[in-house]
Amino acid sequence: MTRTGPLVLAVEDDPQMRRFLRASLTSHGFEFVDAASAKEAMAEATTRTPEVILLDLGLPDGDGVELTRRFREWSHTPIIVISARGREADKIEALDAGADDYLTKPFGAGELMARIRVALRHARQAAGATAPTFELGPLRLDFVRRQLFVEGSEVHLTPIEYRLLSLLAQSAGRVLTHTHLLKEVWGTGHTDQAQYLRVYMAQLRRKIESDPTRPKLLITEPGVGYRLRDQI
Ligand code: CA
């Protein structure tokens, strides 16, 4: 049997959701395998080597956050968490445990494909060299010279603004949690200072967005973190 596309492992105990995931993924050329429990998920992940794991946080025999931690002890396979609306704390815990992104139920096939595409691209980039520049609509960020250009003109960034924007750009398309950003930029002693982020994100938006009050590039994920789009 020849593989048609990347293998996705979906860990989900709801049969209707599994059917939706199978139909969406196979129609987009992915190989698909599913697991209805944490135990099955571990067995499939170790024997089938999926390229992406979709992981429901509420499983009958364990929780997805703990499973994420266990996967991360031996695997770098991107994990996209699937969770119910309003479960922000669970999502954040899963992201901080090593999950790459999340989808909130209900979601459509388009959103699912976009998240998987970003996860696969980041996994492949992590395995090889990263690009020296990042481009998104009017933005061009030069990682070598540490310069930002908007519509071709250089825009001055403070060191903290540059650090934040480059972190977001290196993970473009993925959400970065408040804790992750604070730890990377200000250090582990400042992970409860979400107001720093609000101030700096507002400054960045004034520099990169055509209408900073209606951001199209730098998106707030309420209660979770920030996401720089990977395309517009
Ligand atoms: Ca469930």
| 87 CA to centre of ligand 1 in angstroms | 13
pTM for the predicted model, two decimal places: 0.81
Task: Give Cα separations from 198 to 177, 214, 215, 220 (angstroms).
Answer: 13, 15, 13, 10
Q: What is the SS3 assignment for 51-91?
A: CEEEEECEECCEEHHHHHHHHHCCCCCCEEEEEECCCHHHH
Ligand 1 centroid distance, CA of 213 (Å)? 37
CA of 123 to the centre of ligand 1 (A): 26
pLDDT tens readout for residues 6-60: 999 999 999 999 999 999 999 999 999 999 999 999 999 989 989 999 999 999 9
Residue-wise pLDDT tens digits, 150-175:
999 999 999 999 999 999 999 999 99
Q: What's the 137 CA to ligand 1 centre distance in angstroms?
A: 38
Ligand 1 centroid to Cα of residue 36, in Å, is: 9
